[in-house]
Amino acid sequence: MIRNQVLKIIKEIDGSNISLLTPKISEHGDFAFHISQFGEDSQKVMDIIDRLSKNGLFEKVEQKDSFINLYVSKKILLDELALIIEQKQTYGSNKLDEEKTLVIDYSAPNIAKRFGFGHLRSTVIGQALYNLYSFLGWKVIGDNHLGDWGTQFGKMIVAIRQWADKPIEELSVDEMEALYVKFHDEAEKNPELDDQARLAFKKLEEGNPDEREIWQQLVKNSMLEFQKIYDLLGVNIDFAFGESSYEKAMENIIALSKEKKISKESEGALIVPFADKKTPPAMLLKKDGATTYFTRDLATIQFRVEKWQPDLILYEVGAEQTLHFKQVFWASEMLGLINRENLFHIPHGLIRLKEGKMSTRKGRNIKLDDILNEIVEKATVFNDDPHIAKVVGISALKYNDLKRSPTTGYIFDPNEALSLEGNSGPYLLYTYARIQSVIVKASSSVIPLKKGIQENGSLVEPGMTKKLQPEEISLLRALFRFPELVEDAASNFAPHLLCTYLFDIAQKYSIFYETCPILKAEENIKQFRLILSTAVGQVLKNGLNLLGIEVVDHI
């Protein structure tokens, strides 16, 4: 990447890492840095300006006020254009981190509950991060940490025994969830039901065969329905180790906590206190001996560290779990499992409907497949071909979520998601399809790189750099940033940065398309503009694929 080359040159002169900025206004260059980073050493600044001016990367290096502005040369931009055409679907990837391993914990629906609309965020953000890090050469492991253990299963067992009107094998997830809601309604009138539920879960933990049989069928029925959602979303997670997978490992965590002397008894329970008094103690064992989410998540980390030796573990989980993960990460370090800096929680905000917050206990959990089916049906206004309608609808839903910072909650509006105007999935798909249409009309699905139009390895006739239109230069200056944006989106755990970039590219192409004739231009200009269009299409496709979005050649 050009950015890395600049940083390397500066480090060779200064010996330090500096902050390199991307100006928001194109007139201020492609890169800029503040001279205050070099202290009072004006000679060093002059040396850097001189070195950058002579290395061939930039057509202009200027000091303006307290900034050094760098303008990438047109030849370098055209070289990058050739690289996009050459590398195709691998453009923007690298193998610099191929020795590193990442585990991502995402999606994580709860057994015996609908795959709620609220689980969409974890699923699509987690998958996008999985794709980004894989593209950058990491060995990535996706782990679907299913909610298949805990007191709620004691509630389900009690509810099924008391109110189920059919064999458990025939219960749908909808019917299971209805029983869960009924339990809470009845427990408000009869608190003894909560005691029965705690006892049922304790028996489940102890391995009682009757409780186990009911629980196993709940898991089986749920997973069949969840897979339909994943198939529709185009999501394939490597592993699905539910909380129950760590049943025996929890005993090791409890023993290790005592050995390390980080746990203590408190009112009959076993807790882990923290040095930071603002962080409340976390509970390893309840006073009845039952385990907690905290215990299970520590056992999960121990398993992941032993199985995969990850350099990084990411948790794409709702913001309401922030305190929980702070406790888990701290305790993991106290137990000697892994350093806290290798653990990250990516908290996402809530999706809300106009009707308000979703709640399983109150029976207001909106099914994700209902939303998926609705938006695919609405997408038939673009094209009644079932495959294209599905691609457009799913892209609308995914992109509508991914274009926002994960921490930002939002109210879902299907009309906004499906809009062909503004920052939306259908708009980007339309731009890609428009490019493919231009290429087909030019009777060339792959633009040849004719030696006759190359100058010093660039896709340009002699002297053509002087003929480039502002709209063409604007696209060229945007295209070379793709590898940089991929790295930024990954390192900041922020797929929305890539969305913003792709929308910008699509807007710039739309202006270019309306301003610069392609098929009616003279042959050498036509050839160049077809190459430029092909490169834009390739970058859009690569970027959308990283977001987990399929493209189509026409809409």
Does 183 share its domain with 310? yes
Does 205 share its domain with 66? no
CB 179 within 8 A of CB 163: yes
**Domain boundaries, position 50:** 2-72
Q: Token digits for 549?
A: 């979005």
Cα(287)–Cα(276) distance, integer angstroms = 24
DSSP secondary structure, 52-84, as one string: HHHSSSEEEEEEETTEEEEEE-HHHHHHHHHHH
For position 457, what pLDDT does the model report? 46
Cα(246)–Cα(261) distance, integer angstroms = 22
CATH at residue 387: 1.10.730.10
Does 311 share its domain with 405? no
User: Residue 222: inside a domain, yes or no?
Assistant: yes
For position 365, what pLDDT does the model report? 57
User: Residue 291: inside a domain, yes or no?
Assistant: no
- Which helix (H) or strand (E) segment holds residue 256: the answer is helix 249-259
User: Residue 482: inside a domain, yes or no?
Assistant: yes
CATH at residue 320: 3.40.50.620
Reduced to 3 states (helix: H, G, I; strand: E, B; else coil), residue 311 is: coil
Indicate the number of domains in the chain.
3
User: Residue 59: inside a domain, yes or no?
Assistant: yes
Does 343 share its domain with 388? no
- Within 13 Å, how many C-alpha atoms sit on residue 28's CB side? 14
Does 398 share its domain with 475? yes
CB 368 within 8 A of CB 117: yes
Cα(439)–Cα(553) distance, integer angstroms = 11
User: Residue 336: inside a domain, yes or no?
Assistant: yes
What residues contact residue 229 under an 8 Å CB cut-off, 6+ apart?
115, 368, 369, 372
DSSP 327: H
**CA distances to 182, 207, 243, 273 from 202, in Å:** 21, 9, 15, 25
User: Residue 360: inside a domain, yes or no?
Assistant: no
User: Residue 358: inside a domain, yes or no?
Assistant: no
- Which helix (H) or strand (E) segment holds residue 152: the answer is helix 151-163
For position 357, what pLDDT does the model report? 53
Does 381 share its domain with 424? yes
User: Residue 140: inside a domain, yes or no?
Assistant: yes
Does 186 share its domain with 313? yes
For position 364, what pLDDT does the model report? 52
For position 464, what pLDDT does the model report? 65
Mean pLDDT by runs of 10 across the 555 residues of the chain is 82 77 89 84 83 89 91 92 95 87 96 88 97 97 95 96 96 94 95 95 93 97 95 95 92 96 96 94 92 94 98 97 98 98 96 65 65 93 94 97 96 93 96 96 60 46 75 96 96 98 98 96 90 97 98 93
Q: Check the CA dihedral 313-318-319-324 and report its sign.
A: negative
Does 62 share its domain with 163? no
